[in-house]
Amino acid sequence: MDYDTLLSLVGDDPLFESSLLMAGDVDPRLIRLQLTRWVNSGRILQLRRGLYAIAPPYQKVKPHPFLVANHLQRASYVSLQSALAVHGLIPEVMTTTISVTAGRPERLVTPLGIYEFRHVKPGLLSGYRMLDLGGQRARVALPEKALLDLVYLQPGGGSKEYLRGLRLQNLDQLDAQRLLELAESFDSPRIRQAAMHVMELMHSESESYEAL
């Protein structure tokens, strides 16, 4: 297989898996050898075993970090500070993409950025949706779930002091009823209490707007 054939097979897809090239009457050993050569020559980027992206300047579409995260661990969605930032709930710009997963926790340094995966029990792998990322789509936590995931995984994350330290903003976009329902799914008094603290912050922000 030559490089032009690879480009035609990948097309506009931001990422591709080696299994794409294994279909039909091919020698898997030769395909893997060719992939290694393309990685070494800088024509493709290896993100983890079996997962690749076309390298600039040959790529047609730059992969969004959230899409990459979804592919690095299939049973995962972007959450915590990364989701809070994209929803506009915190002022920080995140340089590491953080996800939660039912799989093993890990930190991956790839040619397309740094990715962290935090483990939660499978029953908590919910409260996300497919988010449009300018032509790409990825699983991203709802703003309420991203906040509760952070509280759940961060020691002391449910305290009023910690929540105030996040400098939460744009709280009017939170759905109070959904926040309470998602908090119940954790089956934890600590998470329920944290949800009430968030409700207080929402009320305070609303009063501040009304006073303007």
Overall pTM > 0.85: yes
Structure confidence by residue, pLDDT tens digits, 81-124:
999 999 999 999 899 999 999 999 999 999 999 999 999 999 99
Dist CA 192 CA 184 (whole Å): 7
Task: Give long-range contacts, CB 8 A cutoff, 24+ apart: 41-48.
Answer: 43/3, 44/6, 45/110, 45/111, 45/112, 46/111, 47/15, 47/71, 47/72, 47/108, 47/110, 47/111, 47/112, 48/72, 48/108, 48/110
DSSP state of 18: G
* Confidence label for 11 from pLDDT (cuts 50, 70 and 90): very high
Structure confidence by residue, pLDDT tens digits, 143-154:
999 999 999 999
